[in-house]
Amino acid sequence: DSEDSSTSKGLVGEVLKLSAETKDVESGVTFTVYNKATGEEVTSIGADVAGDKAEAEWTYHYKHDPENPLKEKPKFYFTVTAAKAKELKSGDVEIGQNIKIVVKDIFDESYGELKFVLYQVGTDNSTNCNTSSDGLFEKEDLVPGKYEIKFEKGDK
């Protein structure tokens, strides 16, 4: 009956492993995932106990809502319930998004050192960026959402 240290960060589309120690629990358990901001239940997942542990998997899938884009990374937590055992609650899991952009011409040649602005659609979030010398741009841990890029005028 103790909480397992759970993942504190995750990514859109990445499988998260939910786990809990289950000493003296013989039957199955239920993992219930909640949205921290609203307290609403997102999903419930049944899991079997193996040894002194129960595990389940859950994946966050971002659904773009043009009327209500995310302004911050969503946070979730889960509870574990079993017959004749107290409910356990996990720590928070914050979900982010990674972006990778490669800029090439029709001859598959990379465009390096390009300046552009990365916009999160439907919000005021924007970031000035540039590609590396090999035309690559990578950004991690963004707020999940739909993004657009606009190249600066006069750049290649």
CATH number at residue 69: 2.60.40.10
Per-residue pLDDT at 119 exceeds 70 = yes
Domain boundary, last residue among 62, 80, 95: 95
Q: Residue 53 in 3-state DSSP?
A: strand
Residues of the domain holding 52: 9-95
Domain boundary, last residue among 57, 76, 95: 95
- Asked whether residue 156 is assigned to any structural domain, the reply reads no
Residue 72 C-beta-side C-alpha neighbours within 13 Å: 7
- Asked whether residue 29 is assigned to any structural domain, the reply reads yes
User: How many other C-beta atoms are found inside a 10 Å radius of the C-beta of residue 138?
Assistant: 12
Per-residue pLDDT at 93 exceeds 80 = yes
pLDDT at position 32 is 97
Q: Which residues pair with 101 in a beta bridge?
A: 137
- Asked whether residue 130 is assigned to any structural domain, the reply reads yes
Provide the token pair at 18: 């939910």
How many domains does the chain contain in total? Answer: 2
- Asked whether residue 2 is assigned to any structural domain, the reply reads no
pTM of the full structure: 0.79
Distance between CA atoms of 82 and 28, rounded to whole angstroms?
A: 7
> What is the pLDDT averaged over residues 29-57?
93
State what percent of residues in the chain have pLDDT above 70.
Answer: 93
